[in-house]
Amino acid sequence: MSTFDRLFGTANPGWPAHLGSVSTPIGDVALRPLRRSDGQLWRAARTRDQSLIQRWDPSSVLTWQQRHTAGQWSIHRRMLTRGARLGSALPFAIIVDGHFCGQVTVGGIARGPLHSGWIGYWVDSEFAGHGVATAATALAAAHAFGAGGLHRLEATVAPANVASQKVLAHLGFRQEGLLQRYLDIDGAWMDHQLWAMTAEEVPQGLDSLLQQWRR
């Protein structure tokens, strides 16, 4: 337990957590908290996959290379870990047979009358196309609705991002509308589709999500 946890505890009922596993054609998918040692693989994968990821990523004054230094990994991990401890996020590393291959995050968690959050992910291209993203999203969503205590999950997806739309559709997320000029992405304000799911739609948690995926 960290000094932060000993002094202040945690405001997040779903954290920390290790989740898994779900079988895919290329191995078993599991989720765990981010580690300092994940930084090297995080940097390598996202640098190599710049052309695949950057077009969906928020704009930044930093270049892609500047955004993926060892120092930026430390900042990124600390921010997500602090958000998890304070109850505003559930950030996970995606693991396939023990190998780091991406991230899935439930963020923007609001309690009170909402009990909602958003979910997003990215996967190393070397592991893409084999159900890894879908399995990781299912694990994170089931945990958010279960131990995380959420009632609603949202996902916003650029209309051209067909791969992400397929992940959400496979798990039973509903497209609820179009958010115009919603996010500053790669230097432009882009429309995004709004997808959502509520806890009532997954009465058996992970089993419900996986059954929907297999159908």
pLDDT digits (tens, 9 = 90+) for 68-92: 999 999 999 999 999 999 999 999 9
C-alpha neighbours within 13 Å on the C-beta side of residue 60: 13
What are the tokens at 68? 């993926």
Report residue 10's pLDDT band, with 50, 70 and 90 as the boundaries: low
pLDDT at residue 5, rounded to an integer: 46
Q: Is domain 14-214 in CATH 3.10.110.10, yes or no?
A: no
Domain ranges of the chain: 14-214
pLDDT class of 186 with cuts at 50, 70, 90: confident
> How many residues in total does the chain contain?
215
Residue type, 14: G
**Integer Cα distance of 135 and 213 in angstroms:** 9
Quote the pTM value.
Answer: 0.92
The CA distance from 42 to 30, in Å, is 17
Confidence check: pLDDT of 166 > 70: yes
**How far is it, in rounded angstroms, from Cα 157 to Cα 28?**
26
By three-state DSSP, how is residue 136 classified? helix
Contact 151, 116 (CB under 8 A): yes
Q: How do residues 138-162 score in pLDDT, each as one tens digit?
A: 999 999 999 999 999 999 999 999 9
Mean pLDDT (the chain, rounded): 92
Provide the pLDDT for residue 9.
Answer: 46
